[in-house]
Amino acid sequence: MAERIRLEKRVLSENDRLAADLAARFAEAGMFVANLMSSPGAGKTSLLEATAALLGEELRLAAIEGDLATDRDAERLRAAGLPTRQINTGGGCHLNAKQVAEALDEFRLDELDVLFIENVGNLVCPAGFDLGEHRRVVVSSTPEGEDKPAKYPVAFHKADCVVLNKMDLAAALGFDREAFLGFVRGLNLRPDIPVLEVSCRTGDGLDGWLDWVRAERRAALDGPRALPK
Amino acid sequence: MAERIRLEKRVLSENDRLAADLAARFAEAGMFVANLMSSPGAGKTSLLEATAALLGEELRLAAIEGDLATDRDAERLRAAGLPTRQINTGGGCHLNAKQVAEALDEFRLDELDVLFIENVGNLVCPAGFDLGEHRRVVVSSTPEGEDKPAKYPVAFHKADCVVLNKMDLAAALGFDREAFLGFVRGLNLRPDIPVLEVSCRTGDGLDGWLDWVRAERRAALDGPRALPK
């Protein structure tokens, strides 16, 4: 078991080194990069479809899609006007920095303002792997129940933003919004972490998400990870 | 990377050895064991709560609960009358046979008819680890979307049964039932895999699930893994 732990540490430190390279590339290109994590079916792709429709004329957007299999999500995003590269992980339960670096080679980075990395649908494993992103977004959804932050703390612990999707179903489900907020705030490192309540189906709340993307992009480009222009 | 693959193979083969021990213990005790896998929030715990209420007087049931953190689900099941042991994996994304063997020591196996193992909510990693179970159940739910079998094939590929939960939301969500069934049947090893459509909230369809448990218990006890009584 000690051997396994040592090896995992080595894999992680190799990933950290590649993630630092990615962060430098993102900074040099003046791009803002967000890493989206969630359970399967929480609505990451729907959020990006809506973002493409609402923000695509204002900012130059692109996406990297992580899935075990199929390019269904990449096709959805391309149909929404978002240039997208699909990564299929086979059995892999998360994206790693090496995969992102390879996908990145297919983009002209200096022509992009924002890159969304949609991780494999998994509330556990992706949280352990830095992809060089500026911000981490966890998408949760009301049908999953209000206690997911407590039961899957690793994803929520270091999140910079929580998007709570499928609010259109909240009343029918008897979703306890206050309980959800309490779990998030009890776990997250930031007392003021934004929790953005949206419905990608109805469009409710998406303005708040777009404002968050705009503001975090500005902050990231001015922040310590960015190189001087 | 070759070293990592070799080590993963060794961890898996150690798990397989422990899983074979578990299978022998289950057979000797004359218990039927089902391993439940799903995304977070698909409804594994709700299904077991309903099962305890509906089948608890007919068969002697128990559960093992896998979660990264908290004993919330074990408390829910105990409140429903199901003797339950909680396993907290810390960061671990699946249960393994060693954890199940340790939890098992707290039960009197000869007093049980059916053991449900509720795996960590994760549609990827649990599928790789045999727990000595007779049957694998994948719980999916309508809000996750109909394409999850295609996007997360490993869990569905070897499933013995798929429970499709939250059918009460299907109409409102525009859930495409035929598409879901097509994805499952296209992936699964068995052309006749049962797909049991239920709503744990309303109780619709649960009779089919109970019948499946009864029938598979009988088949498992008569099958090759069982010792002669």
Interface predicted TM-score (ipTM): 0.90
B7/A151 Cβ within 8 A: no
- Residue A129 pLDDT exceeds 70: yes
**Residue A191 pLDDT:** 81
B166/A169 Cβ within 8 A: no
Q: Chain B residue closest to A201 (CA)? A: B173
Between helix A97-104 and helix A2-29 the angle, nearest 10°, is 30
B121/A123 Cβ within 8 A: yes
Q: Residue A158 is encoded by which pair of tokens?
A: 């270091």
Where does the pLDDT of residue A8 fall: very low under 50, low under 70, confident under 90, or very high at 90 and above? Answer: confident
**Cα–Cα distance between A155 and A163 in angstroms, integer?**
13
Tally: H helices and E strands in chain B: 9, 7
Q: Which residues of A touch B41 (CB under 8 A)?
A: 39, 141, 143-145, 148
Q: Which residues of A touch B11 (CB under 8 A)?
A: 4
Looking at chain A, the whole-number percentage of residues with pLDDT higher than 90 is: 86
Q: For chains A and B, count residue pairs whose Cβ atoms are closer than 8 Å.
A: 112
B124/A125 Cβ within 8 A: yes
Which one, of A25, A119, A147, lies nearest residue B41 by Cα? A147
**Residue A221 pLDDT:** 84
Compute the Cα dihedral for B73, B78, B83, B86 and give only its sign. positive
Do residues A133 and A161 touch, judged by C-beta distance below 8 A? no
**Residue B227 pLDDT:** 39
Quote the mean pLDDT of chain A: 93
Where does the pLDDT of residue A10 fall: very low under 50, low under 70, confident under 90, or very high at 90 and above? Answer: confident
Mean predicted confidence (pLDDT) in A161-173: 97
**Residue B2 pLDDT:** 63
Q: Chain B residue closest to A4 (CA)? A: B7
Among left, alpha and beta (phi > 0; psi -120 to 50; other), residue B73 is alpha
**Residue A228 pLDDT:** 36
A70/B124 Cβ within 8 A: no
B7/A3 Cβ within 8 A: yes
Q: Which residues of B touch A72 (CB under 8 A)?
A: 147, 150-151
Which residues in chain B show pLDDT less than 70?
1-5, 223-229
**Residue A229 pLDDT:** 32
Instruction: List all residues 6 or more positions away from B192 whose beta carbon is below 8 Å from its beta carbon.
Output: none
Identify which of B128, B145, B151 has the shortest CB distance to residue A69.
B151
Mean predicted confidence (pLDDT) in A136-144: 98
Identify which of B70, B122, B124 has the shortest CB distance to residue A68.
B124
pLDDT digits (tens, 9 = 90+) for A49-100: 999 999 999 999 999 999 999 999 999 999 999 999 999 999 899 999 999 9
Where does the pLDDT of residue A215 fall: very low under 50, low under 70, confident under 90, or very high at 90 and above? Answer: very high
Compute the nearest-CA separation of A131 from chain B (Å). 19
**Residue A19 pLDDT:** 97
Do residues B225 and B27 touch, judged by C-beta distance below 8 A? yes
B interface test, pick of A6, A144, A201 with most B CB neighbours within 10 Å: A144
Beta-bridge mates of residue A116: A34, A63
Compute the nearest-CA separation of B25 from chain A (Å). 25
Compute the nearest-CA separation of A119 from chain B (Å). 13
**Residue A224 pLDDT:** 59
Compute the nearest-CA separation of B107 from chain A (Å). 25
Instruction: List all residues 6 or more positions away from A84 whose beta carbon is below 8 Å from its beta carbon.
Output: A62, A63, A64, A65, A73, A74, A77, A78
Three-state secondary structure call for residue B117: strand
